[in-house]
Amino acid sequence: MRWWLWLPLLFLLAWLLSQFVKERVWWLEWGVACASLLAVFAAHVWVSRLTLKKNRPSPSFLAGLVDIATMRRLESPILLLTGVVLLGYLINLMTELNFLGLLVSFAMLMLTVEIVWLADLHTSYLPPSSKLVPTPGLILFASRLGGNEKDNLCSRISSSDNPQIWQDAIRRAGELYKQVAEKFRKDKKSFTLPDVSKTVAHELGCEAKAYFDYQKNIWEFIASCPPAIVAALRSVDYHAQDNLKFVWSIVTDEAAGFFEVFEILVKKAFPGVSVLKKELQDPNDPANIQKVVNEVYQEAASRGLSEDQVTTDITGGTAIMSVGGALACVRSRRRLQYLRQDTFQFIAVPVTIQNIKQAIDELLDQLPELLQSSRSERQ
């Protein structure tokens, strides 16, 4: 709880103390009065700067009083108590015609409202961090996986349940994807995701030969996995650094096979992580996708996770699903990430009202490459 939430109550107690001492001290009364007016001015400047910085509309005094009365914020019990006492005290002073008391009480009421605005600006509309950080909750979009490919992968999954070996293979695959992409860029070669995937599969398969059979089987299996599954596992591995607890996989009918393989692999590599399935009926409707993502955040809240403790990864799925996922994160403190197709590194996208156009433009710029990769994978 922020210390400045107590300021109105502290000023009120100081003023009441100056009024009810046996021998009233004029300098104490005027000292509290001047301090209250200065605090109101400082809080107003603070609110004005934050409002301008976050491109928010100017708040109203009445709206602040409503926030206090309805206890909209978790911190409101403190501010509610202060506001109620001040209102009662103001009514009493009006009957006594105490000009100084009326001035100070009204200043304290203004200070209380300013603190409500500050609490609002510092929490609900705080933009998500532009830095990628591990979170205990993760939302993934499942990619399309053919039935034959799913059956083939399921039949070859190693029976080994050693999480460390699985994690080592996943991390090494991620490193190879970045290294191969970097090599292609240095050689100034144009490349697609299937090109990189083939090279990674070959190199990872060669490295697997140096291990014993029980390790070799795992490395060879990861080498043969589609890039979408490797990317999803890499995302889980990154967020497992922060005690990842829940992974929600948003699945369409075409991606049911992906989820089946993904769930088995997560249980083997990250046994402490729960994989939850969320069905998506219409993957071509961004509004419906946004609705499903919002439902996942509601479920996460019921499991004790705040919005900034859940990251939405829009790497998988279709381009339309990525847009819907991005739109769902244009609020509050929701985090968004995706895997760049040229560097194969995860980056955070601070999607807010101010930069949503830039984020969508960047996504649209990569749309031809994403569609080409998708067509190549289907072939």
DSSP characters over 268-286: HH-TTPEEEEEE-S-TT-H
For residues 143 and 96, state if they share a domain.
no
For residues 60 and 150, state if they share a domain.
no
For residues 153 and 41, state if they share a domain.
no
Q: What is the pLDDT of residues 68-93, one digit of tens each?
A: 555 555 455 666 667 666 666 666 66
For residues 116 and 142, state if they share a domain.
no
**Residue 108 is assigned to a structural domain of this protein:** yes
Tokens of 360: 């969508």
d(CA 118, CA 180): 48
What CATH number is associated with residue 368?
3.40.50.10770
d(CA 165, CA 298): 35
For residues 42 and 154, state if they share a domain.
no
d(CA 64, CA 69): 9
**Residue 98 is assigned to a structural domain of this protein:** yes
For residues 158 and 272, state if they share a domain.
yes
**Residue 176 is assigned to a structural domain of this protein:** no
Domain's final residue, options 64, 96, 122 = 122
**Helix, strand, coil percent content, the chain, rounded in steps of 5:** 65, 10, 25
For residues 232 and 363, state if they share a domain.
yes
**Per-residue pLDDT, 348:** 86
Domain's final residue, options 122, 156, 176 = 122
The residue among 101, 92, 76 whose CA lies nearest residue 8 is 76
For residues 144 and 70, state if they share a domain.
no
**Per-residue pLDDT tens digits of the chain, which is 379 residues long:** 566 667 777 777 777 777 776 566 667 677 777 887 788 788 778 777 777 665 566 666 666 655 555 555 545 566 666 766 666 666 666 666 666 777 777 777 777 777 777 766 655 444 455 578 899 999 999 878 766 788 888 888 877 788 999 999 999 999 999 888 888 888 876 777 778 888 888 888 888 887 777 688 898 889 888 888 999 999 999 999 878 999 999 998 888 889 999 999 999 999 999 999 999 988 888 889 999 999 999 999 999 998 889 999 998 888 888 888 888 887 657 889 988 877 888 888 876 555 555 555 665 666 666 556 555 555 5
284: Cβ–Cβ under 8 A, 6 or more apart, which residues? Answer: 320
For residues 93 and 151, state if they share a domain.
no
d(CA 230, CA 167): 11
**Residue 301 is assigned to a structural domain of this protein:** yes
Q: What is the H or E stretch that residue 183 is in?
A: helix 163-186
For residues 24 and 112, state if they share a domain.
yes
Tokens 């497992």 appear where? Answer: 240
**Per-residue pLDDT, 261:** 92
User: How far, CA to CA in Å, does 251 sit from each of 140, 277, 305, 364?
Assistant: 9, 7, 22, 23
For residues 241 and 92, state if they share a domain.
no
Question: Nearest 5°: phi and psi at 273?
Answer: -100, 135
For residues 104 and 151, state if they share a domain.
no
**Residue 175 is assigned to a structural domain of this protein:** no
For 225-267, give the DSSP string.
S-HHHHHHHHHHHHHGGG---EEEEEE-GGGHHHHHHHHHHHH
Question: Nearest 5°: phi and psi at 270?
Answer: -135, 75
- Domain span at 251: 137-166+226-378
d(CA 140, CA 230): 13
Q: Tally the domains of the chain.
A: 2
**Residue 219 is assigned to a structural domain of this protein:** no
**Residue 182 is assigned to a structural domain of this protein:** no
Domain's final residue, options 92, 122, 152 = 122
d(CA 94, CA 102): 7
